[in-house]
């Protein structure tokens, strides 16, 4: 874990690190915002999972989250969205498959299976790495994300009861079994057996009994991908209602899929996680 960049912000430090990932079999880069409180003791962490085409840079530059994290005394852990580099499989003509589109699953089909194990990376390897090397409270963490990363946040929390104090999402891909993004990536990474896809589908997980104390989702009504049937929050809402899973789905009038939307409400999400993190 090598520090490659450090910038002071709001009394804390926005750091970038590089390391070799055992899960992904390649070098990986991630960012961490350590709030000023981390200079005096360990702090809780909020993991942020980004969407298609993003790196760790998108969220840390565009969301304005560091200000709120500093106020609340919460570290931000911001991984990349996929393995990258020479030798890592990719489909350059597609933005929704390959590098930049790891979909937070463990691939089981060649050639993806050697590198694309983003679920293990986010849920197991990265938390172990940062908790061993940074002033973080062991196991005191929450998770959030956007679009593909919102999908990743939901499944990480639902599949690991007790591992995360809280979960939220912006415009998440709620039911990838039924959306074209999900179908395309799941077929490539997991094969044609849709029963295996269900293990990485938040709607299916809730239907099968997975739960969290409460889930917060913000969704813009002017989101072009909502209209295109890629996100399907209504399916997730119906599953939560049927399973009596507490869900706050806030349909935000006029907001789109962009970081303008995220920046507007990220402060509310961080405050919401802060209450769960104590």
Catalytic residue numbers read 147, 223, 257
CA distances from 102 to 43, 90, 145, 170 (A): 29, 10, 14, 18
Residues sharing a CB contact under 8 Å with residue 178, sequence separation 6 or more, in sequence order: 229, 232, 235
Beta strands in 1-97 (DSSP E): 2-9, 12-21, 26-34, 43-49, 75-79
Rounded Cα gap, residues 247 and 170, in angstroms: 13
């Amino acid at each position: 874990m090598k520090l490659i960049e450090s910038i002071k912000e709001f009394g804390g430090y926005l750091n970038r690190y590089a390391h070799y990932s055992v899960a992904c079999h390649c070098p990986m880069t991630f960012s961490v915002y350590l709030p000023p409180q981390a200079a005096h003791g360990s702090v809780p962490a909020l993991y942020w999972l980004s969407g298609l085409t993003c790196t760790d840079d998108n969220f840390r530059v565009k969301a304005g989250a560091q200000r709120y994290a500093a106020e609340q005394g919460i570290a931000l852990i911001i991984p990349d969205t996929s393995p990258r580099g020479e030798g890592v499989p990719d489909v350059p003509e597609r933005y929704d498959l390959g590098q930049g589109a790891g979909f937070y699953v463990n691939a089981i089909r060649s050639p993806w299976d050697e590198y694309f194990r983003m679920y293990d990376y986010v849920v197991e390897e990265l938390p172990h790495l940062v908790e061993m090397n940074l002033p973080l409270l062991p196991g005191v963490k929450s998770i959030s994300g956007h679009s593909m990363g919102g999908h990743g946040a939901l499944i990480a929390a639902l599949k690991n009861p007790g591992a995360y104090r809280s979960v939220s999402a912006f415009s998440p891909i709620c039911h990838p079994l039924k959306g074209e993004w999900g179908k395309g990536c799941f077929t490539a990474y997991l094969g044609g057996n849709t029963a295996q896809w269900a293990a990485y589908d938040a709607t299916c997980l809730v239907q099968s009994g997975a739960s969290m104390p409460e889930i917060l989702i913000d969704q813009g009504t002017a989101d072009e991908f909502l209209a295109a049937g890629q996100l399907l929050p209504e399916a997730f809402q119906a599953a939560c209602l049927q399973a009596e899973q507490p869900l706050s789905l806030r349909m935000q009038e006029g907001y789109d899929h962009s970081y303008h939307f995220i920046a507007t409400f990220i402060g509310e999400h961080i405050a919401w996680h802060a209450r769960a993190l104590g």
